[in-house]
Chains A and B, each alone.
Chain A
């Protein structure tokens, strides 16, 4: 187990080098440069040239990459060209917001998707099953931003039930020592803030969780259908165990294994979906920040931000792989 863990950690190094090269060249392949984006009509050829020189864009690309790697090895992710802030500081401030949103979205997908998938399988071929199939298709095919805007129109503007933007009531004076607002509210035992933060989380989490929900539902359904016809399930039933006990102990536990895999894979989807969701809900996380950076051709932000997200993605998948052993003791790593 330990050897496996160390090997996977070591594998991170070539992966991150590869990702850093890809990102570095990708952002430079975007047409334009920060100078043109920021200067607009004032982008005279002289000024553009001046900025290119200042940022070092006029040097050979391998020199630029080497310089980037050097600063990276010093733990320096650079400074945003657009708002002049340290990329590392910005990640520290914004990442908790994205994590909180992604976890809420995943929780939503699990809490709704697993039971729906289970019941769909139990009523295989029935109206409920067909209905769930339609819902999951809609969940996968409606773009996040369309769903997000629709949810806001219905729940924020029409019914005034839930807030439309931000993580917390803008007038709140609550302290945020960890920047994980739910955690902060629990630590400080500030229940009204907790309620407010949860209300702010609901719509973005539903919007972001819609695709994982559909996927989780389909996988659970297929998995339950698969497992409930296994010999050991039949044996359990033959022993005279109650159907609910068989479902709980024997069907669900096994059926949930593939769902666990999906969580890891969906982490990447959640991070990319966060770009759209955060933009629509003015959620101050990594997604809306990267979206603005793309428009501003803010190379340091794109490089630092995406590299960081890649690292998170790889680590989440490592954790998922390791967690198999906990869920299924028969899986061994070597």
Chain B
């Protein structure tokens, strides 16, 4: 390629380019610190908060992911909402409610003088319009990718278009006056009221939905997609913040709703930025680019606590890690053998060693935050001697062989490092008269499928994170019916969980679930061992943030309060 060129006339800038670079660096130094800085104003100000991803879109009835709910929770409110930091419910757009004698109807008394952010009135007509909207969804809206939570709570629709949909729980909603509605159900259902606190059942402005095509959508390659602009640009609720702008992949800007019916938000603005990488979120906080973030990696907590300008907040535990025992495999159908497993698992040392102080030892499947939790369940402290005795009493020769599975390539909030948990449990079981045969499978796609199909050995490590604050969402999901995962039939347990699901009297429900928890821990279909506390990280100047167990928090009480 080396050729002579006549009239060559290249400008000889190459050698001089060092100068602009030096000038640039100098300008940076003189220009002071990087663009985004921490806002220290006591009142008002802008909170920049990082989540892990962008929301899907902002119609809460049509999404099911935490990042979307993080935003919709600020814009919308339901008839009831969770009391901050707990899973119990408190009045929101309904000031009070009563349950009908048959347990199938609920009367909600609505808050007066509430307006949607588009200026239209929130009243009985608007509330029933929302219930009827969900119930009358058709076509693509009946797909699980659109209405996951509606289907989880209400089953099916007015006209089910698929055989896989169950009959609808909802029967009707009638306005009994301007600020009173009666919601009738087709059957008694205890989880109905707690579930109404889910953002998926928030009240939305009928006018805005109609104006901006909120009821338009289609299935594209099997995935629901809203085709109107409502869910992207005009989500309209009654909440303390309203959407100002959404730059996809970059930020969502929420501004204070100045006509909010209740105590107004202290912040002027909340900016939510998606940062998918753990390390990037941590560095953004340390550099002052953001004021706080969710989903702190357990290994980063030490580094955050070591920084005087930062702090961590614990989310109350809302999950459970447990060891499945598959009773379809002998000898685990024998209670004594299951008890031996429970005594043979050194749960306290696993929680102490591998959760960075971020978990409590689980006494039962329900996290302590949820009603129905009781301290009166049988406890199984680590006791290898007792485990061996139990195995011998069952007529078995020691050591008893056990196929024990754990997943690879995964870290879950309730199980940061499955291999470490497995190793510790395996050691303690071997000391307790078992001979452990280890098996691993990648979390995707094999492990969870094998666990659910009951083909993941005699014992396996798995867990669950709740959707809403109801015991049915934990023990009801696991033990309400026969499942191949656990391989047992126990009508007493199935029945009491069914009664718990159908009971609408709150006190009776608590009693039923307490009793169910005792029965379950006596029967030992599995051994729960940890409830972990996910962490959030903030600048110290951020005050008033209360993490909710369910993972969606309120920004309206947050303010900046100096160091």
Interface residues of A (CB under 8 A from B): 31-33, 36-37, 40-41, 43-45, 47-48, 50-51, 54-56, 71, 78-81, 83-86, 90, 93-94, 111-112, 114-115, 118-119, 149, 152-153, 156-157, 160-172, 195-196, 199-200, 202, 226-227, 230, 232, 244, 247-250, 252-254, 256-258, 279-282, 284, 288-289, 291-292, 297, 300, 328-330
Residue of A nearest to B20 (CB): A111
Q: Return B153 CB to nearest CB of chain A, in Å.
A: 15
Q: How far apart sit A163 and B280, CA to CA, in the bound complex (Å)? A: 12
Most chain A beta-carbon neighbours within 10 Å: one of B14, B286, B465: B14
Instruction: Note all chain A residues with C-beta closer than 8 A to B464.
Output: 41
Q: How far apart sit A284 and B407, CA to CA, in the bound complex (Å)? A: 32
Instruction: Note all chain A residues with C-beta closer than 8 A to B279.
Output: 149, 280
Does the CB pair A167–B280 fall under 8 Å? Answer: no
Q: Return A263 CB to nearest CB of chain B, in Å.
A: 15
Does the CB pair A50–B223 fall under 8 Å? Answer: no
Q: How far apart sit A308 and B28, CA to CA, in the bound complex (Å)? A: 36
Instruction: Note all chain A residues with C-beta closer than 8 A to B223.
Output: 55, 79-81, 84
Which of B33, B54, B251, B463 makes the CB contact (< 8 A) with A170? B251
Which of B35, B220, B248, B444 makes the CB contact (< 8 A) with A32? B444
Q: How far apart sit A281 and B274, CA to CA, in the bound complex (Å)? A: 11
Does the CB pair B449–A165 fall under 8 Å? Answer: no
A41-B464, A56-B222, A78-B221 given as contacts; is B5 within 8 A of A170 (CB)? no
Does the CB pair A330–B3 fall under 8 Å? Answer: yes
A165-B283, A199-B34, A282-B284 given as contacts; is B289 within 8 A of A244 (CB)? no
Most chain A beta-carbon neighbours within 10 Å: one of B17, B24, B223, B442: B223
A45-B449, A248-B10 given as contacts; is B283 within 8 A of A157 (CB)? yes
Most chain B beta-carbon neighbours within 10 Å: one of A50, A84, A168, A199: A84
Q: How far apart sit A139 and B488, CA to CA, in the bound complex (Å)? A: 60
Which of B11, B12, B56 makes the CB contact (< 8 A) with A247? B12
**Can you list 29 A-B pairs, Cβ within 8 angstroms, ordered by A?**
A31-B445, A36-B448, A37-B444, A41-B448, A41-B465, A43-B449, A54-B222, A56-B222, A79-B223, A81-B221, A84-B145, A93-B248, A114-B14, A115-B18, A156-B34, A164-B287, A165-B273, A166-B289, A169-B35, A170-B289, A199-B34, A226-B2, A250-B8, A253-B8, A253-B10, A254-B2, A256-B10, A279-B276, A292-B53
Q: How far apart sit A171 and B48, CA to CA, in the bound complex (Å)? A: 9
Residue of B nearest to A235 (CB): B4
Instruction: Note all chain A residues with C-beta closer than 8 A to B250.
Output: 166-167, 284
Query: Nearest 3 pairs between A and B by C-beta?
Result: A32-B445, A248-B12, A32-B444
Which of B57, B273, B283, B442 makes the CB contact (< 8 A) with A152? B283
A90-B248, A253-B10 given as contacts; is B34 within 8 A of A161 (CB)? yes
Residue of B nearest to A111 (CB): B17
Asked if B77 is at the interface (CB within 8 A of a chain A CB), the reply is: no
Instruction: Note all chain B residues with C-beta closer than 8 A to A202.
Output: 24, 28
Does the CB pair B221–A56 fall under 8 Å? Answer: yes
A79-B223, A256-B10 given as contacts; is B2 within 8 A of A227 (CB)? yes
Q: Return B464 CB to nearest CB of chain A, in Å.
A: 6
Known: A164-B286, A195-B31, A202-B28. 6 other contacts (CB 8 A): A84-B145, A157-B287, A166-B273, A171-B36, A252-B14, A257-B1
Residue of B nearest to A300 (CB): B221
Does the CB pair A86–B225 fall under 8 Å? Answer: yes
Q: How far apart sit A172 and B15, CA to CA, in the bound complex (Å)? A: 36
Q: How far apart sit A50 and B143, CA to CA, in the bound complex (Å)? A: 11
Asked if B277 is at the interface (CB within 8 A of a chain A CB), the reply is: yes
Q: Return B445 CB to nearest CB of chain A, in Å.
A: 3
Residue of A nearest to B273 (CB): A170
Asked if B330 is at the interface (CB within 8 A of a chain A CB), the reply is: no
**In the complex, per-residue mask of B216-260: 1 if CB is within 8 Å of any chain A CB, else 0:** 000011111110000000000000000000001111000000000
Asked if B530 is at the interface (CB within 8 A of a chain A CB), the reply is: no
Asked if B144 is at the interface (CB within 8 A of a chain A CB), the reply is: yes
Instruction: Note all chain B residues with C-beta closer than 8 A to A37.
Output: 444
Q: How far apart sit A114 and B14, CA to CA, in the bound complex (Å)? A: 7
Asked if B308 is at the interface (CB within 8 A of a chain A CB), the reply is: no
Does the CB pair A162–B34 fall under 8 Å? Answer: yes
Does the CB pair A43–B448 fall under 8 Å? Answer: yes
Instruction: Note all chain B residues with C-beta closer than 8 A to A169.
Output: 35-36
Does the CB pair A254–B3 fall under 8 Å? Answer: yes
Which of B28, B35, B442 makes the CB contact (< 8 A) with A31? B442
Q: How far apart sit A297 and B48, CA to CA, in the bound complex (Å)? A: 30
Residues of B445-488 at the interface with A, using a CB-CB cut-off of 8 Å, are 445-446, 448-449, 452-453, 462-465
Instruction: Note all chain A residues with C-beta closer than 8 A to B4.
Output: 230, 232, 250, 254
Does the CB pair A94–B249 fall under 8 Å? Answer: yes
Instruction: Note all chain B residues with C-beta closer than 8 A to A329.
Output: 5
Does the CB pair A164–B289 fall under 8 Å? Answer: yes
Instruction: Note all chain B residues with C-beta closer than 8 A to A252.
Output: 10, 12, 14
Instruction: Note all chain B residues with C-beta closer than 8 A to A45.
Output: 449, 452-453
Asked if B299 is at the interface (CB within 8 A of a chain A CB), the reply is: no
Instruction: Note all chain A residues with C-beta closer than 8 A to B465.
Output: 41
Instruction: Note all chain B residues with C-beta closer than 8 A to A227.
Output: 2
Q: How far apart sit A273 and B448, CA to CA, in the bound complex (Å)? A: 33
Asked if B29 is at the interface (CB within 8 A of a chain A CB), the reply is: yes
Does the CB pair B15–A328 fall under 8 Å? Answer: no
Does the CB pair B10–A282 fall under 8 Å? Answer: no
Q: Return A235 CB to nearest CB of chain B, in Å.
A: 9
Residue of B nearest to A33 (CB): B445
Q: Return A221 CB to nearest CB of chain B, in Å.
A: 13
Does the CB pair A79–B221 fall under 8 Å? Answer: yes
Q: How far apart sit A196 and B48, CA to CA, in the bound complex (Å)? A: 17
Q: How far apart sit A31 and B33, CA to CA, in the bound complex (Å)? A: 45
Instruction: Note all chain B residues with C-beta closer than 8 A to A119.
Output: 15
Instruction: Note all chain A residues with C-beta closer than 8 A to B1.
Output: 254, 257-258, 328
Instruction: Note all chain B residues with C-beta closer than 8 A to A248.
Output: 10-12
Residues of B48-94 at the interface with A, using a CB-CB cut-off of 8 Å, are 48, 53-54, 56-57
Asked if B390 is at the interface (CB within 8 A of a chain A CB), the reply is: no
Instruction: Note all chain A residues with C-beta closer than 8 A to B14.
Output: 114-115, 118, 252
A112-B21, A166-B289, A247-B12 given as contacts; is B35 within 8 A of A196 (CB)? yes
Does the CB pair A165–B280 fall under 8 Å? Answer: yes
Q: Return B170 CB to nearest CB of chain A, in Å.
A: 23
Instruction: Note all chain B residues with C-beta closer than 8 A to A172.
Output: 35
Residue of B nearest to A257 (CB): B1
Instruction: Note all chain B residues with C-beta closer than 8 A to A161.
Output: 28-29, 33-34
Which of A36, A41, A83 makes the CB contact (< 8 A) with B54? A83
Instruction: Note all chain A residues with C-beta closer than 8 A to B221.
Output: 55-56, 71, 78-79, 81, 300
Most chain A beta-carbon neighbours within 10 Å: one of B273, B290, B445, B465: B445
Instruction: Note all chain B residues with C-beta closer than 8 A to A247.
Output: 12
Instruction: Note all chain A residues with C-beta closer than 8 A to B516.
Output: none
Residue of A nearest to B477 (CB): A42
